[in-house]
C-alpha cells in the first residue's frame, strides 16, 4: 500500500486575488530554499531577469491548475511557467508567497480523544504489567 500527500490549494490575503484558485504540488525543502532565495530579486536588471526565469520555471513545474483567465473572452491562461511569465511581478510574487507560506505552516493540532485525563481500565492494567516487569 502506498501513500501520496495531497496537493495544496493556495490562500491569498490580498483582496485583489479574491476568487483566484491555485492548486500546486507541495514544496520540498530543497526547493523551498531555492524559491525563497530567488524571490528576493537582485538589483542588476540582467540578474533580476535570470532569477525571475528560474523562479517561474520552478513554480511553473509545480503548478497543477488555476482558474486564471484574461481578456473579454475570458481565455484560460495556462498554469505553467509561460502562463506565469505573462503576468505581472506582483501576481507571480503573490503566488510564491502563498506557496511558501502554505509549505511552512504547521497543521492545527488534532482534537483530543478524551478530556478526562484518566487512563482507561485496559491502559491502566497494561501500565501495571509494564511496571511490574521492570521491577522484577
pLDDT of residue 6: 80
Percent of the chain clearing pLDDT 70 (strictly above): 76
User: In the predicted model, what is the mean pLDDT of residues 4-17?
Assistant: 89
- Buried/exposed code over 35-72 (b: 16+ C-beta within 10 A; e: otherwise): beebbeeeeeeeeeeebbeebbebbbebbeebebeeee
Residue among 94, 90, 91 at smallest CA distance from 77: 91
Sequence spans of domains, the chain:
8-104
Looking at residue 47, its pLDDT comes to 81
Residues in the chain: 136
Mean pLDDT confidence for 80-97? 94
Nearest CA among 110, 74, 108, 89 for reference residue 40: 89
- Is residue 95 very low, low, confident or very high in pLDDT (cuts 50, 70, 90)? very high
Measure the CA–CA gap between 83 and 26, rounded to whole angstroms.
19
Average pLDDT, the chain: 83
Sorting pLDDT into bands at 50, 70 and 90, what band is 104? confident
Q: Is residue 69 within a helix (H) or strand (E), and if so which, with residue range?
A: strand 69-70
Residue 65's DSSP bridge partners are 23
Residue 136 has pLDDT above 60, yes or no: no
Give the orientation angle of helix 45-62 with respect to helix 29-38, to 10 degrees: 150
Q: pLDDT (tens digit, 9 = 90+) per residue, 33-74?
A: 888 887 776 677 788 888 889 989 999 999 999 999 999 999
Contact (Cβ atoms closer than 8 angstroms) between residue 60 and residue 92: no
Q: What is the pLDDT of residue 8?
A: 92
Q: What is the mean pLDDT of residues 10-15?
A: 92
Task: Tell whether the model's pLDDT for residue 107 goes beyond 80.
Answer: no
Amino acid at each position: 500500500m502506498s501513500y501520496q500527500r495531497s496537493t495544496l490549494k493556495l490562500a491569498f490575503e490580498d483582496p485583489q486575488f479574491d476568487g483566484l484558485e491555485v492548486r500546486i504540488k507541495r514544496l520540498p525543502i530543497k526547493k523551498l530554499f531555492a524559491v525563497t532565495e530567488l524571490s528576493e530579486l537582485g538589483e542588476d536588471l540582467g540578474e533580476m531577469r535570470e532569477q525571475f526565469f528560474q523562479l517561474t520555471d520552478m513554480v511553473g513545474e509545480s503548478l497543477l491548475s488555476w482558474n486564471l483567465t484574461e481578456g473579454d473572452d475570458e481565455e484560460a491562461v495556462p498554469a505553467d511557467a509561460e502562463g506565469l511569465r505573462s503576468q505581472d511581478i506582483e501576481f507571480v510574487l503573490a503566488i510564491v508567497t502563498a506557496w511558501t507560506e502554505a509549505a511552512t505552516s504547521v497543521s492545527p493540532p488534532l482534537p483530543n480523544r478524551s478530556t478526562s485525563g484518566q487512563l482507561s481500565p485496559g491502559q491502566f492494567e497494561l501500565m501495571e504489567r509494564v511496571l511490574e516487569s521492570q521491577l522484577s
